Amino acid sequence: MAGSSQLLIPLVAGIIGLGVLAQVLAARLRVPSIIFYLLVGVLIGQPGLGLVNSETFGGALSAIVGLAVAIIVFEGAYHLRFERIREAPTATFRLVTLGAAIALVGTAGAVKLAFGVDWNLAFLIGALLVATGPTVITPILNVVPVRDRVATALETEGIVNDVTAAIIAVVVFETVNPGATSEGLLQAFALRLGTGLLVGLVVAGLLYYLLQYIDLSPGDAPRNARLLVLAGALVAYAAANTIATEAGVAAAATAGIALGNADHPYEEDVESFKGDITLLVLSFVFIALAAQLDLAALRRVGIPGLVVVFAVALVIRPLLVFVSTVGDKFTTNEKLFVSFVGPRGIIPASVATLFAVELNNVASELRTEAANASGDEATRLLAEAATLTSQAEILLGTVFLVIFATALFEGGLARYIAEKLDVIPMRLIIVGGGKVGRALAERLEDRGENVVIIEQDEQVVERGRNAGYTVEIGDGTDTDVLRSAGAENAKTVIAATGDDDVNLLVSQLASSKFGVDRVIARANNPDNVEAFEDLGVRTISSAMATAWAIDNQIERPAIAHWMTDVGRVGDVQEVAVTNPDLVGKSVREIGPMLPEACLIALVSGEDHTTAEVPTADYVVKEGDMVTLLGRRESVREGMQLVDGG
């Protein structure tokens, strides 16, 4: 039997192995891994194979899923930074409040209309399908590098809605389940959310104190820090869940956000470790849950289920996105992309499975009671049991049908849709992942550029990827490698290898083959500068760059020091004028419109080759390149004003 102790260990190991293979295949094909998790889960769960069924894990599945959800939610919340949320504060807040309310009511209405069920069950399904979640959003954003404001809105929506959806669903479930205790809905919601917030903050505070002030053993400190944080995530979940059912999700999310935004010494170690653990846990749980699903349940919801899918994906989602982003800085194409990207993930899958199991258990108890009863009482009990079984079937079938449809279509087509809508910011490609390339990538990514490094040395590739950079392995002089890195959608290509011949060939290919507007090359030998410039390539001589840096330290030490810290405290950025509100205005008129501690230092005209310090009467034209100088955050806000973003 598949569930026997002899086969359980190899079965778990096999599921994890399949999950890792699915992750590798997804990365290779550049599609979200959830697609393969679901397909593998359904395959091994088919009755003919006999590998996984409802008895495989016994009663332990709910506990396994719960702890896995704690790790997944904590990891997603840990990466959510407050400074990133500021990229789209209004839209983000609306998505998790007004948008979530529209999703809840709209989905409940669609379920009621399609199936004709009670409003209690309709709102239960609606509550579950509010959640998108980091388990499905993060894999999509890994293969679709959209602008920060779009990514932040999607990530924040997923994390917050995972928490609220789980709590609301548990509260509403008490009105559906005859065996549940009656409790005021608002009181129950407030109890679970409050418990989660309190426990999460306490655990995060304790973890911060231990990481910051306690000696974790110098030789093993990073490892101990990683294990401590992992244990903290599980403790937060378990403690809150013990106090109030499903409060653990809120606790894990709260602890993750609080600790992730605290400045502690082992942040990078924790991030890399938890990312790997989450991938293993996610693959196992998704495959295990998908294996519990009987495909007949999907077929039985039939046309009504498809109506709900259509309403959720093509009506309710676009409606809530466009309402939530009214008056914000999102472009129409970005709104359309966010409307398309709303797949459902682990929270609705896990909670719906547990609810369905509980409803079926209650139905089984009622049938047992009916067997010992007679007459009208037996008939009533059997009818109630049949109703609960039907509700469990509609609940599980509808939720999983939406998960399958949105994950397969929205996840699988996300990159294609993003390219068609042109919401992927143009790439900046650096050929050469050595010290120069990585140092440059660090500065550019900090400014919000979409950077891809090309490198053929496997050890250098590994170091770059471990540092968090997007690295394409291959020869930068190979046309196919450049194309794979995104040269056709690149605004700048930088040849930064230590070989001038390679840099020259890369520059030629980028300019002639891909028509890249701006090509910059590193000339290691000053004698080769002329050859590069004959091709129209902007060239930086290593020798001259060093001489300039030394000269600046001698003649302009204050500026040199300030420029060294550009991107940290101060910043200098060039941006094209595209905001119609600025076109035709003088620098004197634009000045008060800019943020405090931000000023226009230079302006270049249509050719963008020469720049001048503008007078106060200089009239800005559309397409002018404006150089903004000032404090980091002020310059970023100024860029959004100038380009209308």
3-state SS, residue 602: strand
At residue 448, the pLDDT reads 65
pLDDT at 14: 81
In angstroms, the CA 575 to CA 644 distance is: 11
- Kindly list the distances between the CA atom of residue 142 and the CA atoms of 17, 414, 431, 440, 536, in Å, as whole numbers in the listed order: 21, 11, 21, 22, 35
Q: Which of 250, 103, 237 is nearest to 191 (CA)?
A: 250
Residue 255, CA distances (Å) to 62, 76, 151, 543 in order: 22, 11, 21, 50
Determine the pLDDT at residue 314.
Answer: 93
The CA distance from 92 to 155, in Å, is 9
> For 456, phi and psi rounded to 5 degrees?
-105, -15
| CA atoms in the 13 A half-sphere facing the CB of 117 | 30
* Per-residue model confidence (pLDDT) at position 608: 56
The answer to whether residues 481 and 472 touch, using CB atoms and an 8 Å cutoff, is yes
Instruction: Order across the sheet with 625-631: list the strands.
Output: 570-576, 625-631, 598-604, 611-612
State the chain's maximal CA–CA distance in angstroms: 103
DSSP 34-79: HHHHHHHHHHHTSTTT-S--TTTTGGGHHHHHHHHHHHHHHHHHHT
CB 545 within 8 A of CB 521: no
Tokens read off for 603 = 């302006």
pLDDT score of 530: 81
User: Closest Cα to residue 308, out of 265, 344, 275, 267?
Assistant: 344
Q: Does residue 627 contact residue 600 with C-beta atoms inside 8 Å? A: yes
Instruction: Residue 629: name the closest of 601, 591, 595, 587 by CA.
Output: 601
- DSSP result, 523-549: ESSGGGHHHHHHTT-EEEEHHHHHHHH
Return averaged pLDDT per consecutive 10 residues of the chain, 645 residues in all.
58 80 76 75 72 67 78 78 66 88 94 90 90 78 77 84 79 69 66 88 91 74 81 90 82 87 76 68 78 75 91 94 84 89 82 81 84 81 85 88 86 83 82 87 76 88 79 88 82 89 89 85 84 80 78 76 66 85 90 89 74 88 88 84 76
How high is the pLDDT of residue 79? 74
Distance of CA 495 to CAs 21, 405, 456, 609, Å?
Answer: 35, 43, 14, 20
> Coil, strand, or helix at residue 600?
strand
Measure the CA angle with vertex 35, ends 253 and 226; round to 5°: 35
The enclosing H or E element of 631 equals strand 625-631
pLDDT for position 272: 64
**pLDDT score at 2:** 43
What are the structural domains of the chain?
5-52+66-421 (1.20.1530.20), 427-554 (3.40.50.720), 566-643 (3.30.70.1450)
User: What's the CA angle centered on 629, arms 628 and 631, to 5 degrees?
Assistant: 120
pLDDT score, position 178: 64
Q: How far apart are the C-alpha atoms of 348 and 136, rounded to whole Å?
A: 12
**Site of tokens 């550019």:** 444
454 touches 429 (CB < 8 A): yes
Residue showing tokens 């704690």: 70
